[in-house]
Amino acid sequence: MEPDLDDTRLSVPRTPLLVPTVDLDDTVVRGPAPADVAPPALVEPPAPEARQLPLFVEPELPVADDEGAAPAPTRAEFRAVLADGTEVPIDVPVYLGRNPSIPRIHTGPAPRLVTLASPTREMSATHLELRLLGGSLVASDMRSTNGTIVQLPGAAPRTLIRGESAVIVAGTRIDLGEGAVIDILAPRASDAE
């Protein structure tokens, strides 16, 4: 015979809950406010104390190096070399693609638009942005359909997907597809002077 594994129990029915005799509800109901009582007046914060502003603010000057000479400002940080050998300085934002256009929201100097050949129209109209941020060069995929392949020097190729960005250095190769390859180079010695 098998053991009974049913754990159902019969118990005595519960008694109904007793209604408390004390009202534990602390809700207060008020009638309409009397017409002769006005709402409290708003309190204005105190006026700030007048203080005298300096007439001239000294500009911050660049810190001198060990020899006492201030560092010289740099111009074009990088340059892009297209597959046909065309060099494009990256001193302003650069937009590359089949038919590039300036984004609706753009800040800073006027960008440079670079049109690349796309016989099969696989490249996006505005495919890639190259922009200097601080001292770094940033490549941003402009939500392209096929993505952007970035290969840093000594590293494996990496695909930037829709809207992704990457910091790149001189020696980086960028492939937009359809033979549109861009090499990023350091500035010429004459550009840095």
Amino acid 61: pLDDT: 58
The mean of the pLDDT values for the chain is 80
Please report, for the chain, the start and end positions of each structural domain, with discontinuous segments joined by +.
78-192
Find, among 145, 150, 134, 138, the residue nearest to 183 by Cα: 150
* Beta carbons of 131 and 109 less than 8 angstroms apart: no
Give the model's confidence band at 193: pLDDT under 50 very low, under 70 low, under 90 confident, else very high: very low
Tell me the two tokens of residue 46.
């105190």
Exposed e or buried b per residue across 53-73, where buried means at least 16 C-beta atoms within 10 angstroms of its C-beta: eeeeeeeeeeeeeeeeeeeee
Amino acid 135: pLDDT: 83
Which distant-in-sequence residues (6+ apart) come within 8 Å of 83 by Cβ?
A: 179, 180, 181, 182
DSSP for residue 12? P
Q: What is the pLDDT of residues 15-51, one digit of tens each?
A: 666 655 666 666 666 666 666 767 667 777 777 777 6
Exposed e or buried b per residue across 162-179, where buried means at least 16 C-beta atoms within 10 angstroms of its C-beta: eeeebebeeebbbbbbbe
Paired with 133 in beta bridges are 136
Higher pLDDT, 31 or 184: 184
Lowest mean per-residue pLDDT among 32-41, 90-99, 133-142: 32-41
Distance of CA 70 to the CA centre of its chain: 33
Higher pLDDT, 47 or 112: 112
For the chain, what is the radius of gyration of the CA atoms? 35
* Beta carbons of 153 and 183 less than 8 angstroms apart: no
Tell me the two tokens of residue 147.
């993505």
Give the model's confidence band at 137: pLDDT under 50 very low, under 70 low, under 90 confident, else very high: very high
Q: What is the pLDDT of residues 143-182, one digit of tens each?
A: 998 899 999 999 999 999 899 999 999 999 999 999 999 9
Amino acid 55: pLDDT: 63
Q: What is the DSSP string of 27-96?
A: -----PPPTTPPPPPPPPPPPPPP-PPPS--PPPPPPP-TTSPPPPPP---EEEE-TTS-EEEESS-EEE
Fold topology of 78-192 = Tumour Suppressor Smad4 (2.60.200)
State phi, psi for 161 to the nearest 5 degrees: -90, 180
For residue 75, is pLDDT > 60? no
Amino acid 190: pLDDT: 60
